[in-house]
Amino acid sequence: MSGLPAAGLADPGVIARALPVGRVLAPAALAYVSAAGFRPAAGQGPSVERLPAGHPELTGLERAAGAEDAAEAGLDEITSPAFAVRVDGRIAAAAGYRRGPARTAHLAVLTAPDRRGLGLARAVGAAAVRHALAQDLFPQWRARVPASRRVAAGLGFAELGFRLSAEPV
């Protein structure tokens, strides 16, 4: 791989040709925000409640979102409290983070499919980021989906790199 151009290192096709891999996941953008760059959700947004990590109602949101979206979000891995918004009594969006190396806080954000585009991800994401910053952590947002990348950008996250995951054969 030493002869590959930098742009090729984020290209699943290039990696699959260079290494013996069984499956390559599309590259995910890695974005970070500092306290100075953070732009919390503006105006009167939905009411966000705080729940313990692993709260049983989070499972209902994961089921509603489907296995693929739930796995991508990673709510089941958070070590922080969960920050949630309810619609009609059910959790429609939730966020939290898992502490990582070098004081990073890996954000996990999930919104029910029928509630996307309403600003709920931004509201719960902002609450999780605010909590991480208060713990003196460096929030990281990893996203493949353009809508998720837009939410992160709206909160002030700057994309600084990409991560490509490959499973060896």
Q: What 3 state SS string does 75-100 have?
A: HHHCCCCEEEEEECCEEEEEEEEEEC
How much of the chain, in percent, has pLDDT values that exceed 70?
88
- Candidates 159, 149, 17, 158; CA nearest to 72 is 149
Query: What is the mean predicted confidence (pLDDT) over 101-130?
Result: 95
Q: How far is CA 111 from the centre of its chain?
A: 11
d(CA 155, CA 161): 17
What pLDDT shows up at residue 37?
A: 96
pLDDT digits 0-9 by tens, 66-79: 998 998 899 999 99
Buried b / exposed e over 85-101, threshold 16 CB at 10 Å, is bbeeeebbbbbbbbeee
Lowest pLDDT segment from 22-26, 57-61, 104-108: 22-26
pTM of the shown model: 0.84
Predicted local distance difference test score (pLDDT) of residue 4: 73
Going from the N-terminus, what domains does the chain have, and what CATH number goes with each?
A: 29-162 (3.40.630.30)
Which comes out higher in pLDDT, residue 22 or 85? 85
Q: What is the mean pLDDT of residues 10-29?
A: 70
